[in-house]
Structure 1
């Protein structure tokens, strides 16, 4: 795999390491990265030798979220589609473009990755913001460095959280409301206190601690791991996660449509710089 590929894939014994590789843009997720992640997860799922998958990001940050302004932003390009049966969105306009794209790239892929029948561990350092949360939350466990922080500031755009709206399931509802209402950063320690993060370790120990946990899990039988993951996911769905994702996805797109009618664009005229400054 080319060293400048948007996603790197390595196999080390029973572990598959899937690594986001746009460090110059804090691993912001353009479509090339998202579809490459999809291919990497398929590859790990299909490999009989892989027992556990580790998702990480190169550089100082796990992921600053969706790409809303880098020179390689490619939201309107066609890619091979496997996450859903929507028609190609790349040549459409308005809600037809946005809804079809986000049904596939965000909600569709994240929902399917959550169901991958092998344990997935997120190894999080630095920023895990907005779309970065979605990638961490589809993982079964999150190991975070002490300098990691989590935030979903998209309410600044008038949007009720990112597309994979798992907030009230990964943290208590009142904590989720404060998290969204303020857009403030949540430290790794606080994320551990509310149950969103599994372990917090010093930055220099993050990779080793994640690998140690992954190797421990990999000693379990594969079918047992798959069934246990399914059991816990089903319990979350019975608590309303699956239906909640669908219902809030509709509100998310109502917000995009409202912004498109009343402001400069579906993001209320805000770009990455404006969001960072806010």
Structure 2
């Protein structure tokens, strides 16, 4: 069974995390397949709007799967993949840890009444730091309450401070997201793309973008032929022959 599914509705793609038995926890397969699905969406000229959702009704995502830790950055919009096309997040139930990071980087957010945003990492003694960008997407003190106290924030409160665009009855998050997507289809794609790019210049670059850039740069070095050559040359006590690859 695929960890991520894609449903096409004409010019709209619904991309869902598909691990309801694990509360849609993000493992390696989910992170990679979300990234692949959105890259395919961006490359398809017939697709104009994406809805990011999940299977089941208990959780959008329980966050990173500690039994199979992912490269979470791959699943995060504008970090693991780029697109000028709008992305609408549709959540129900628990939105935990990395799940918050995923939806906060989308362009619009629809949540059901029973949605709960929860970031427990301070209580677990671990963090990747990406959640710190939340402070640029909701009032500072509420963001700190989520991060430092691990407070559970219901959809209605998140809506009141402007973090969530629409709060709908349980089970209607995708229906509402699709209504918004249909509205977006009436707008000029070039204007939407231009506005997204301009907004990305207005929002401050947070630690998540910097950490990912650093980790990708280091990964390229660690996976390079030059590294293997350097190690071999050291062991063989000879001068290395680097090729820049």
Range into which the TM-score falls when normalised by the shorter chain: 0.7 to 0.9
Distance in 2, Cα, partners of 1:177 & 1:161:
16
In structure 2, distance between residues paired with 1:249 and 1:174: 28
1:220 is matched with which residue: 184, 187, 197? 187
Q: How far apart are residue 245 of structure 1 and its match?
A: 4.8
Deviation, 1:224, is 1.1
Moved over 4 A (4+): 247-250
Alignment of 1:75-94 (within 5 A): 75=69
Change in CA separation of 1:161 and 1:218 when aligned onto 2, cut-off 3 Å: same
Partner-residue secondary structure (3-state), 2:79? helix
- Corresponding residue SS for 2:16: strand
1:51 aligns with 2:48: yes
Instruction: Deviation per CA, 1:157-202: give whole Å up to 9, x if none.
Output: 3335653532111111111111112102100001111211111010
Alignment partners' CA distance in 2, 1:32 and 1:248: 18
Using the TM superposition, name which of 23-32 and 225-234 deviates more. 225-234
Q: Which residue number in structure 2 is paired with residue 195 of structure 1? A: 162
CA radius of gyration, larger in: 2
Instruction: For 2:74 and 2:30, locate their aligned partners in 1 and report how far apart those are by CA, in whole Å.
Output: 15
Contact 2:35–2:81 under 8 Å retained in 1: no
- Call closer, same or farther: CA 1:207–1:244 in 2, change over 3 Å: closer
Q: Normalising to structure 1: TM-score of the pair?
A: 0.71
SS in 2 for 1:204: coil
Which residue of 8, 23, 27 corresponds with 2:24?
Answer: 27
Q: Does 1:65 align with 2:63?
A: yes
The equivalent of 2:11 in structure 1 is 14
The offset of 1:247, in angstroms, is: 7.1
Question: What is the aligned counterpart of 2:148 among 172, 175, 181?
Answer: 181
- Residue 106 (structure 1) aligned with residue 68 (structure 2): no
Q: Which residue of 2 aligns with 1:98?
A: none
